[in-house]
Structure 1
Amino acid sequence: MKNNELETKNELQDESLFNGSLGRRSFLQYAGASAAALALVAAGCRKDRNFGDISGGATLDFKDDFGVLNYAYALEQLEAAFYIQVASNPPSAFSATQKAYFQDVQFHEIAHRELFKKALGTAAIGSLEVNFSAINFSDAASVLATAKTFEDLGVSAYNGAGVRLKDAKYLVLAGQIVSVEARHAAYVRDQISNGSFADLGSLSAFGAVDANGLDASLTPDKVLPLAAPFIKTKINVINL
């Protein structure tokens, strides 16, 4: 058991955002995160392909499923970076329950990030550099507001990207992840205002539930500009 854990830990250690050790708990979360789906994706994505950088940035090529998966990978990198920073030093005003929640969610987002990274292999974009200068990590309201933005945006992004996926197994994987992101979104909204688990009746920039009870669906050309203020790395988009 110890040898297996050591091997897995070595595999997960990389030059990722914040260069933090995942630790045993997060490893267990990652190891249990849709292993069957990972095997399917890895089987389809292990190809001699590398998107590389353009002008020092990361390129999202939407001509096929690889581009959509890298798009999701970029968003998961952003979320993982945010939750890692919050969990490592939560606002003092957070309750014990809130601190535990952000600890757990960082493991979910790390698992999602590593799932895409491993599945994409050589086709994966590099690690993104984030820009969190507008976030006051010592202020509970600022942290919750940012978490709401990221979660609502993530749900809308997955909903909008699904139609671009040609392989059904990738669509299933995206559905499994967006349902987790929606749980996060509902919880965060409830912390800000009890019972406000979604925007009802009108669409907002980051997503809402419409009159038919459906969450918003935002296309990549709408999502990326909303995420851009939080990302230093230049994102190049082609074949969108």
Structure 2
Amino acid sequence: MEKLTYAEEKKEKAFLSASLQRRSFLKYAGAGAASIALLAAGCDKDDEINGVYFGTGDIAILNYAYALEQLEAAFYTQVVATQYASITAMETSYLTDIRDHEIAHREFFKAALGVNAIAALEVNFSSINFNSRDSVLATAKAFEDLGVSAYNGAGFLIQNPEYLTLAGKIVSVEARHAALIRDLISNGTFVGTDVLDGYAMEKSRSPSEVLAIAGAYIKTAINVEGLPTY
């Protein structure tokens, strides 16, 4: 398998042998490792200089999404493990479901990327008070809104239409999470003008904008030299 350097152009030869089940991301992810294969040129692990290298082209975009899903999965895992005071049974159920979705997303990307997947990232949640409902839900809102804007902002950079279809399925789930979190904060506020443009369409963020925000919660140094840009 040909390996990449930063200066080399990668020729994609990738496809996914299984598509996501419509009704259950969790069920898919459980079987994902056995049912999905990503055939692509490999990223040279020796080139992880100045941080974890995402690769180039679509591989870099998939690793970008994988990094964000790692962050969200780690956050909700902590939320469920150390529940804030006075959490209700309904809130526990909702947040556990979101945790499971994010873990499923994370494992999906890990299985899809195979040997091209970046390593597990170390997170930093020291600024979050997991004992406070307000702190947890405000962070959840920020993460969900960031995730939706990230997928929206990276979609047109994806070259493989199959990957674009999968990204569309994932971002629709993330948007449902965002709406639910907003309603937990204040009932009936499932969407706000802060995430919409003048045409009532969800706002987008470029990968550089997203990583600048997400970087506050990621301790691992990352190298996105090969990540497609606007």
TM-score, length basis structure 1: 0.78
How high is the sequence identity, in percent, across the aligned residues? 51
Asked if 1:169 is matched to 2:156, the reply is no
Q: Quick one: distance in 2 between partners of 1:95 and 1:54? A: 46
1:19-168 correspondence to structure 2 within 5 Å = 30-33=26-29, 42-45=37-40, 47-51=41-45, 53-55=48-50, 57-61=51-55, 63-168=56-161
Say which structure is richer in helix: 1
1:137 CA displacement: 0.3
CA contact (8 A) 1:60 1:71 kept: yes
Structure 2: tracts of 5 or more residues without a match: 1-23
Give a deviation string over 1:110-162, Cα, whole Å, max 9, x none. Answer: 00000000110111110000000000001000000000010000000000010
Q: Secondary structure at the match of 2:124?
A: coil
1:222 maps onto 2:209 in alignment: yes
Corresponding residue number in structure 2 for 1:184:
177
Amino acid of the structure 1 residue aligned with 2:196: V
Task: Give 5+ residue unaligned stretches, structure 1.
Answer: 1-27
CA RMSD of aligned residues (A): 2.1
- TM-score scaled by structure 2? 0.82
Which amino acid counterpart does residue 144 of structure 2 have in structure 1? Answer: E
Q: SS at the partner of 2:94?
A: helix
* Aligned counterparts of 1:43 and 1:59: Cα–Cα separation in 2: 18
Instruction: State the distance in 1 between where 2:31 and 2:86 align.
Output: 37
Distance 1:82 1:231 in 2: 11
